[in-house]
């Protein structure tokens, strides 16, 4: 079992982890979630004795990592798949780790087979792909057949087959009674792998509960209702009935209704009483990703913004962006916001004047034999050669 009690880590004025307490129990896969910069890697490093906590303690089986006898036989970890000497082969890397920990050499070949690297065991690791490096890192963690395993982003760089293999491996290790602690940003994969979650934000504990309870506590379930698209009056009638019954119906972009505050049987009864036909009545339960985003939205340190210049670039003549018409007045289409600029109007302040309109390179086919629009430009004329009897002066030393 892994246990953290009041774990705090400061780097000068920066507090990476603050008063963090949790337990990772054996027999289950525990997911470790949090935004970038939330302190997940720092916490794992303190558990493994790589960083000393400012205060608090982290123990494995009741003892600090550094006091465990022959720790590699009891704890396996993958924190950085690139922590390998590039000049060593996969087998040589694992063999050196085995010799340092008193692990028999036959175990090296066993774990190479487990991770699927037996055919490239003699290749230098510097030629490995990202996914192959991840497999080698997992092999290093499994080398001592430990009871406690920590993985930081173990599926990074793996193909779908590799991701499925890691998922099954984690579950198998936990079913054998081992403690499995996995950090990942792939919410869909974590929902299929982990049974328990520990979520942190800005170095502090946000949640310590099962996946099912986490989703239930951090999501708003609703019912999705659809009436005939050709009869909007039926949707309005149902919306009014739902409001009178104490529910709330919000229109969705595709024309359906999102209904909250009422159970599905009650919605069905209201539709029947109002003589409204239903094309769809289905429950919606939030995914782990939705619940995670809902909980951590206030603990994200790095947020991207939209490009302020997006949509302001000049559009070549003859081209209309998808979803826009060629200009104002086209029935059934939105006016082209670029039409005025393309027609030669004076641009707004701070923007360059539009270039002269040119034919689109993918417009009408050019006559046979015409120069290709992407061909080479004509070569510049060569300067006349000097007469044979004229000596050209040298300006540099010929040496």
CATH number for position 160: 3.40.50.300
- In a domain, residue 384? The reply is no
Same domain assignment for residues 142 and 234:
no
Query: Average pLDDT of 30-39?
Result: 93
| 153 assigned to some structural domain | yes
| Closest C-alpha among 49, 67, 53 to residue 21 | 53
Asked if residue 228 and residue 167 are part of one domain, the reply reads: no
Where a domain ends, among 216, 241, 268?
216
Helix axes 232-244, 264-273, angle to 10 degrees: 120
Average pLDDT over all residues of the chain: 81
Quick one: which of 70, 75, 72 has its CA closest to 58?
Answer: 75
Query: Are 302 and 296 spatial neighbours (Cβ–Cβ below 8 Å)?
Result: no
Judged on CB neighbours under 10 Å (0-12, 13-18, 19+), 197 is buried
Query: Domain check: are 209 and 87 in the same one?
Result: yes
Residue 392 lies in a domain: no
Q: Which residues contact 385 (CB under 8 A, 6 or more apart)?
A: none
Angle at 214 between CA 180 and CA 30, to 5 degrees: 0
State which residues form the domain around 97.
Answer: 2-216
87 with 165, same domain: the answer is yes
In terms of Cβ atoms closer than 10 Å to its own Cβ (0-12, 13-18, 19+), residue 268 is middle
In this prediction, residues 82-92 reach a mean pLDDT of 90
Mean pLDDT of 358-385: 47
pLDDT tens for residues 184-220?
A: 988 888 999 999 999 999 999 999 999 989 988 887 7
Q: Are residues 168 and 262 in the same domain?
A: no
Last residue of a domain, one of 173, 189, 216: 216
96 pLDDT above the threshold of 60: yes
- What is the predicted pLDDT for the residue at 115? 94
SS3 content of the chain, % helix, strand, coil (to 5): 30, 20, 50
Residues 103 and 137 grouped into a single domain: yes
Other CB atoms within a 10 A radius of the CB of residue 23 amount to: 14
Q: According to the model, what pLDDT value does residue 98 have?
A: 93
State pTM to two decimals.
0.68
The answer on 260 and 129 residing in a single domain is: no
In this prediction, residue 387 carries a pLDDT of 52
At 50, list the tokens.
């790589």
Whether 142 and 255 map to the same domain: the answer is: no
Bridge partners of residue 29, in order along the sequence:
180
Phi and psi torsions of 334, nearest 5°? -80, 150
Question: Residue 277 is part of a domain; what is its CATH number?
Answer: 3.30.70.100
Residue 53 sits in the same domain as residue 188: yes
Between CA 330 and CA 332 the distance in angstroms is 6
Q: How many CB atoms lie within 10 A of CB 333?
A: 14
Which of 171, 188, 278 minimizes the C-alpha distance to 228? Answer: 278
pLDDT of residue 270: 94
DSSP letter, residue 184: -
- The answer to whether residue 136 is domain-embedded is yes
pLDDT at residue 217, as a whole number = 83
- On whether both 14 and 61 belong to a single domain, the answer is yes
Average pLDDT over residues 340-350: 44
Domains contained in the chain, number? 2
Instruction: Say if residue 2's pLDDT is above 70.
Output: yes
Domain ends where: 216, 239, 261?
Answer: 216
List the structure tokens of 305: 């913004």
Residue 356 has pLDDT above 70, yes or no: no
């Amino acid at each position: 079992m892994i246990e953290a009690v009041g774990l705090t880590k400061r780097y000068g004025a920066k507090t990476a982890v603050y008063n963090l307490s949790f337990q990772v129990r054996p027999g289950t896969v525990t997911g470790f979630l949090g935004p970038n910069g939330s302190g997940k890697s720092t916490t794992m490093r303190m558990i493994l004795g790589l960083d000393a906590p400012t205060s608090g303690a982290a123990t494995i089986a009741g003892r600090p990592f550094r006091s465990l006898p022959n720790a590699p036989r009891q704890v396996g970890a993958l924190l950085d798949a690139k922590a390998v000497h590039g000049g060593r082969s996969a087998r040589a890397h694992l063999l050196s780790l085995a010799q340092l920990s008193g692990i028999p050499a036959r175990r090296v070949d066993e774990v190479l087979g487990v991770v699927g690297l037996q055919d490239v065991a003699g290749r230098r690791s510097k030629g490995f792909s990202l996914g192959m490096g991840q497999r080698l890192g997992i092999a290093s963690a499994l080398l001592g057949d430990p009871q406690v395993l920590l993985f930081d982003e173990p599926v990074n760089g793996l193909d779908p087959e590799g991701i499925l293999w890691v998922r099954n491996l984690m579950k198998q290790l936990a079913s054998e009674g081992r403690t499995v602690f996995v950090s990942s940003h792939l919410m869909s994969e974590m929902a299929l792998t982990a049974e328990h979650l520990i979520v942190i934000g800005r170095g502090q504990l946000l949640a310590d509960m099962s996946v099912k309870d986490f989703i239930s506590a951090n999501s708003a379930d609703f019912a999705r209702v659809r009436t005939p698209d050709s009869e909007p009056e039926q949707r309005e009638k149902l919306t009014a009935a739902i409001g009178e019954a104490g529910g709330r119906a919000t229109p969705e972009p595709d024309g359906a209704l999102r209904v909250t505050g009422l159970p599905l049987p009650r919605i069905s009864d209201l539709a029947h009483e109002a003589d409204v036909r239903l094309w769809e009545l289905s429950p919606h339960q939030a995914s782990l990703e939705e619940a995670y985003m809902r909980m951590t939205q206030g603990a994200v340190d790095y947020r991207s913004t939209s490009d302020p210049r997006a949509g302001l670039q000049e559009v070549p003549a003859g081209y209309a962006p998808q979803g826009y018409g060629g200009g104002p007045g086209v029935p059934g289409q939105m006016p082209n916001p670029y039409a005025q600029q393309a027609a030669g109007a004076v641009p707004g302040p701070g923007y360059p004047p539009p270039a002269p309109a040119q034919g689109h390179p993918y417009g009408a086919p050019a006559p046979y034999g015409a120069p290709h629009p992407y061909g080479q430009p004509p070569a510049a004329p060569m300067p006349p050669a000097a007469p044979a009897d004229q000596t050209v002066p040298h300006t540099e030393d010929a040496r």
